[in-house]
Amino acid sequence: NLDGDTGSDGSTPQDRANAAGFHGKAAETVAINPALAISGIEILNQWYYNPAYFAIMSDCANSQIGVWTENSLNRTVVVAVYGQPQ
Mark the ranges of the chain whose per-residue pLDDT is less than 50: 1-2
3-state secondary structure of 77: strand
The pLDDT of residue 1 is 42
The pLDDT of residue 4 is 58
Q: What are phi and psi of 75, to 5 degrees?
A: -165, 145
CA quadruple 25, 76, 54, 18: dihedral, nearest 10: 0
As a whole number of Å, the end-to-end CA separation of the chain is 29
What are 25-42's pLDDT values in tens digits? 999 999 999 988 888 899
